[in-house]
Amino acid sequence: MTASTDPSTRYVLPPDAPYLNNLAALWSKNPSLARAVESLEDEACAEFRVEPSRSGPPTVTARTTDGRSITLHSRYDPVLEAKKLIDPVKTDSCVAFYLLGLGLGYALEALFDRTSEESLLFVFEPDLRLIRIALEQRDLSRIISSGRLHLFTDADKAELFTKLTPHSAMCSMGFEGVTHAPSLALHSEYFGEIQTWIAEFAAFSRTSLNTLVINGRRTAENVSRNLADYVATPGIDALKDQYRGRPAIIISAGPSLRKNKHLLKDAAGKAVFIAVQTILQPLLEMGIEPEFVTSLDYHDLSTRYYEKLPKNLRTHLVAEPKASPKIFDVYPGPVTILGNDFADRLLREFSKDVDKGRLRSGATVAHLAYYLAEHLGCDPIVFVGQDLGFSDGLAYAPGTNIDEVWRPELSRFCTVEMKQWEFVARDRHILRRIPDHEGKPMYTEERLFTYLQQFERDFLRTTTRIIDATEGGAKKRGATSMKLAEAIRQFCQEPLPPAPAADGKPGQQWIRAGKCVASLQARREEARQIELISQDTLPLLEEIRDHGADQSRVNRAIAQIDTLRARIEAFGPTYDLVTQLTQKTELQRFQRDRRISAAKLTGVELQRKQTDRDLENVKAVAEAAQQFQRLMDEVIRKLKTFTDPASTTPLAA
């Protein structure tokens, strides 16, 4: 700030002071950071020495924790130095970048100027004093105002994952990093943690996105085929806070379960047991009937876990509608199916009459079990059998239903132990070492590691007590490690209140299923129109591609495409449903859009790239619209012959 001998004017800055513009921009984009920066006293920044470089722009000198003095930028030309630092970065193909260390913002400015207008910049700088000095010395307001800058100051993994997750698609195209070496010398521990978490987020983001793309079509198909059960079963809101303040034990099928599963009987009736589907049958064979079981698996193979269940089962199945339809056909107990946007858009004419309620989306049945425990109001939530890695070289606890799945392959030359090892070894290319619950090294693989990241993100932002009583497996940040016997002694001594009556499948309103047919017929006809419009668009795009030199001809084709685009926009909600069947193409279109923007193309070359992109996309939409119509035909036929289990009358008769 400008020095003054008059104390009353010490906070008065000239109108062109960078600090004024920067703070105004920061208050509009990040008020909490602006407040923290503005609350700093001048004396707090006194240990930093700002001086001009030989070329004019300022540099700054700071002291390390061991008392050394280091200059954060070149004493000769800090602008040129920053440009050389940014030169190797792939700004023509990537659209997400992170910068470790702000300094006075030279590298940030060079990166901002080289990247596209859609690119995102994530800057990590733990020292508020240095941020304040940068805002005082250099005008960064255009960068802050752009909305592309995301500043992180705290070593908070949960915050990092929460803020980065909405940008997973951008980061999936490549997350380029720039390291400001002098900043690392000042805060090596902070930046070491950040680098580790960024690598973990990249793995989490990659796996999550791949899962979404691979399973997008299967999700749409299963949700559609489950519509009768979806509209007939009660919603999750009926279970809200049913066990407020009572302990829950989430039982998974990890290898460590063999160590302490015998103790579960001591907590039966005193804790809400929520089992993942793999462990349900083994628990029943132990004489333990859990209150809930969760399911979300797409594959029909998961039906194996439900084939031998008793007809009078009281365990309540809570499932996502993307689960295999065969599960709902064979499950004998009460069922709740979670709300789903795809199903509601299919049935939008009367979706308000089928208010299902929702839980957060999880990657696995264990995540779903955790979100269910939160919804029930349980506290604490205790995990057992949740290894998230290969404890003792095993993938599953011996004696779980996976043994039944493997049984046809077993012989004296292929034992259960060999199948366990085969399961681990086949993923050797994605294995990684992580600390276990005692801090010792253990192996996990990339998918399990991703599941761990999601759990840790959830644990770090909840106020519920989380107890990891697995007695093995991965260390889980945000959870207190404890032996199951101790957790039972501390938390599971009072009997649970009586559960609501759950005989058969109560509360199901099968008459609603018949009402689905009219909605599905409307969606089918809308998809047919989308297919026809797409087919009409293709020759026009080919004309643009093949006659780029004749711009008058191109403009006529564009005008016709604009008319067709207006027609297809009238079917926007159904268009979104259709593209659910072609998620890979949608992701590719998104990535190509971003790369075209990053390349900063112009003129005919830009037009050619955009046309090639549109041709591929429109072909995929036409094909997806055909698939969608066939899917609707299948579901309509099923509903027209579907009967109430208590009668013989077709619901859509």
Q: Between 87 and 47, whose confidence is greater? A: 87
Going by pLDDT thresholds of 50, 70 and 90, the confidence category of residue 334 is very high
CA–CA dist 653, 645 (Å, integer): 15
Q: In this model, does residue 502 exceed pLDDT 50?
A: no
pLDDT for res 400: 57
CA–CA dist 473, 389 (Å, integer): 6
Structure-token pair, residue 424: 């681990």
The stretch 285-302 carries a mean pLDDT of: 90
What is the DSSP annotation of 451-488? Answer: HHHHHHHHHHT--S-EEE--SSSB--TTSEE--HHHHH
Say which range, 192-206, 284-298, 519-533, 611-625, has the weakest mean pLDDT.
192-206
Q: In this model, does residue 648 exceed pLDDT 60?
A: no
The stretch 631-652 carries a mean pLDDT of: 72
Q: Between 403 and 337, whose confidence is greater? A: 337
Which of the given ranges, 8-17, 395-404, 417-426, 579-588, has the highest pLDDT on average? 579-588
Burial of 39 (0-12, 13-18, 19+ CB in 10 A): exposed
pLDDT for res 67: 79
The stretch 570-594 carries a mean pLDDT of: 83
Going by pLDDT thresholds of 50, 70 and 90, the confidence category of residue 94 is confident
**Type of residue at 296:** L
Q: In this model, does residue 124 exceed pLDDT 50?
A: yes
Structure-token pair, residue 254: 């990890």
Q: In this model, does residue 201 exceed pLDDT 90?
A: no
At residue 116, the 3 state secondary structure works out as coil
pLDDT for res 53: 93
pLDDT for res 11: 59
CA–CA dist 378, 462 (Å, integer): 12
Which of the given ranges, 392-406, 524-538, 630-644, has the highest pLDDT on average? 524-538
Q: Between 107 and 601, whose confidence is greater? A: 107
Going by pLDDT thresholds of 50, 70 and 90, the confidence category of residue 158 is confident
- Kindly state the percentage of the chain with pLDDT values over 70: 87
Say which range, 10-14, 172-176, 268-272, 388-392, has the weakest mean pLDDT.
10-14
CA–CA dist 195, 587 (Å, integer): 27
Residue 423's Cβ-side half-sphere holds a number of Cα atoms within 13 Å equal to 19
Q: How many C-beta atoms surround the C-beta of residue 65 within 10 A?
A: 10
Q: Between 415 and 204, whose confidence is greater? A: 204
Q: In this model, does residue 304 exceed pLDDT 80?
A: yes
CA–CA dist 87, 110 (Å, integer): 9
Q: Between 427 and 43, whose confidence is greater? A: 43
pLDDT for res 103: 93
Say which range, 152-156, 614-618, 647-651, has the weakest mean pLDDT.
647-651
Q: In this model, does residue 612 exceed pLDDT 80?
A: yes
Which of the given ranges, 283-287, 588-592, 643-647, has the highest pLDDT on average? 283-287
Going by pLDDT thresholds of 50, 70 and 90, the confidence category of residue 539 is very high
CA–CA dist 476, 444 (Å, integer): 13
pLDDT digits (tens, 9 = 90+) for 255-267: 888 889 899 999 9
Say which range, 388-402, 494-508, 566-580, has the weakest mean pLDDT.
388-402
Nearest CA to 525 out of 564, 566, 577, 560 is that of: 577
pLDDT for res 417: 56
Going by pLDDT thresholds of 50, 70 and 90, the confidence category of residue 3 is very low
Mean pLDDT over the full length of the chain = 85
pLDDT digits (tens, 9 = 90+) for 364-384: 999 999 999 999 999 999 999
What is the DSSP annotation of 152-178? Answer: E-S--HHHHHHHHGGGHHHHHT-EEEE
The stretch 149-172 carries a mean pLDDT of: 86
Nearest CA to 207 out of 558, 563, 448 is that of: 448
CA–CA dist 466, 382 (Å, integer): 6
Q: In this model, does residue 405 exceed pLDDT 90?
A: no
The stretch 208-217 carries a mean pLDDT of: 74
pLDDT for res 440: 82
Kindly state the DSSP code that residue 400 receives in the 8-state scheme.
S
Going by pLDDT thresholds of 50, 70 and 90, the confidence category of residue 316 is very high
Going by pLDDT thresholds of 50, 70 and 90, the confidence category of residue 503 is very low
Going by pLDDT thresholds of 50, 70 and 90, the confidence category of residue 645 is low
Whole-structure pTM over 0.85, yes or no? no
pLDDT for res 627: 94
Q: Between 315 and 443, whose confidence is greater? A: 315
Say which range, 168-177, 438-447, 615-624, has the weakest mean pLDDT.
438-447
pLDDT for res 37: 92
Q: In this model, does residue 509 exceed pLDDT 50?
A: yes
Q: In this model, does residue 298 exceed pLDDT 90?
A: no
| Sign of the CA dihedral with 384 first, then 294, 419, and 204 last | negative
Beta bridge partners of 69: 63
Determine how β-strand 381-384 pairs with β-strand 248-251: parallel
Going by pLDDT thresholds of 50, 70 and 90, the confidence category of residue 585 is confident
Going by pLDDT thresholds of 50, 70 and 90, the confidence category of residue 651 is low
pLDDT digits (tens, 9 = 90+) for 235-248: 899 899 999 999 99
Specify whether the CB–CB gap between 374 and 464 falls below 8 A.
Answer: yes
pLDDT for res 515: 76
What does the angle CA 148 – CA 152 – CA 157 come to, to the nearest 5 degrees? Answer: 120
